[in-house]
A = this chain, B = another copy of it.
Amino acid sequence: MRRKENLMGRKIIQKEASLINRTSLRVRFSEVDSMRIVWHGEYIRYFEDGRESFGRQYSGLGYMEMHEAGYFVPMVHVEVDFKSPLKVGDIVIVETRFINSEAAKICFQYILYRESDMQVVATGESVQVFLNSSFELELLSPSFYQEWKRRWKIE
């Protein structure tokens, strides 16, 4: 049931995603486990690759830029749905979609494709919040984030 709602929710959200980045990576030997498929925890790194690549395309949301603006953006939620296994040497396309939110949060969705057949191998999402330099939670979106949204035409 919940899974279905999730998929439904995803469909609606995907229509709304206005900023999308795609980057690719190659599966490393050290990332596969004894089943000869990528160990599930490695996908968290793949998502991070996606976020960093997103931050380079839509400048102002990179880790270093946010840090210089005086904020940390720790993860508060991450989830992954694994659809099809990845093997050594596979090229993975990481599609990272910015999901706008009224709240003081950074939300991303991820869709991972195997390049050879463009099959979806995994999907996922993440939510980050803002801490100021005293490590206190910001309940309102910091001004740098609001400006970033304006620059990239997200209302």
A residues touching B (Cβ–Cβ < 8 Å)? 2, 5, 9, 26, 28-30, 32-37, 39-41, 44-45, 48-49, 52, 62-64, 72, 74-82, 85, 88-89
Contacts and interface: CB of A to CB of B under 8 A. Distances in A.
14 contacts: A26-B52, A28-B48, A30-B33, A30-B41, A35-B72, A37-B74, A40-B78, A41-B44, A41-B48, A74-B85, A76-B81, A76-B82, A77-B80, A77-B82
Q: Is the interface of A mostly helix, strand, loop or mixed?
A: mixed
**Oligomer: number of copies:** 4
Nearest to A82: B76
A73 to B, nearest CB: 9
Contacts of A62: 89
